[in-house]
Amino acid sequence: MRFLPLLWAGWTRRTGRTALTLLAVATAFALFGLLQTVDDAFATVGQSISAAHRLVTVSTSRGQGLPLSLTGQIEHVPGVQRVTFNAPFFATWQRPGHWVGGFAVPASGFGVLRGYQMPAAEWRAYFATRIGLLAGETLARRNHWRVGEDIALRAVGDPQRDGSEVWTFALTGIYRTRRRDRENTLFFHWRYFNAARARGRNTVGATSSGSPTRTPPAVLPGPSMRCRSIPLIRPGR
């Protein structure tokens, strides 16, 4: 206890330095949380498919992705029945340090994202909206987002072709999973993202392919709250 006055004097001696130190610590925790969310999202992709029958290829460089043409090559490997891919997206919302993360995915990506639940009307709205965005319930609740709102995100490392770093999406759906800690990820259309970004076009962050012994049901909007049937498409279409 006798050292508390000394510590307090040190903290208040240069308030600017103290504020910057606290900001650096807060940013470090925010980045850790964001990267943990992205790591969990990668871990859940294709989770219901036996690992012995699935191959995930991930780019180890944030600045250089895998060529999209790689998906076509994997598609022609004997035994491979489906191929999908994603591109990671990091951004801040409203203020610096308020991090969010997600993936640009093709429609085929939802064939392996099993266990994601959302009303059928929201699935239809997402696929009918070019700038449609899906958010996990935990993330949406924390940020007080509602379906129908426009969400403006300032991207980190992914500017648009017009030079703007701000990407505006229409929140068309809020999904749920059995584990709340996996509801912190955003998903949006690969075709929109690939056409609008200034660099890294036709590159992806990861590809996933599989040859399951039995074809798992696709994840598509059905008549109820659970996703039951969404047609799979080939990458790049």
Q: Give a yes or no: residue 226 inside a domain.
A: no
Q: Give a yes or no: residue 223 inside a domain.
A: no
State the 10-residue block means of pLDDT for the chain, 237 residues long: 63 74 78 66 48 47 67 76 83 94 86 76 95 96 96 94 96 91 92 93 71 37 32 32
pTM of the model: 0.63
Measured CA to CA, the distance from residue 37 to residue 181 in angstroms comes to: 8
Q: Give a yes or no: residue 113 inside a domain.
A: yes
Measured CA to CA, the distance from residue 41 to residue 205 in angstroms comes to: 13
Best CA proximity match to 41, nearest among 142, 204, 135, 182: 182
Q: Give a yes or no: residue 67 inside a domain.
A: yes
Q: Give a yes or no: residue 216 inside a domain.
A: no
* Residue 195 lies in domain: 4-210
* CB 216, CB 48: distance < 8 Å: yes
Supply the pLDDT for residue 37. 64
Q: Give a yes or no: residue 145 inside a domain.
A: yes
Q: Give a yes or no: residue 231 inside a domain.
A: no
Q: Give a yes or no: residue 38 inside a domain.
A: yes
List the Cα angle 158/161/163 in 5-degree steps. Answer: 75
Q: How many domains does the chain have?
A: 1
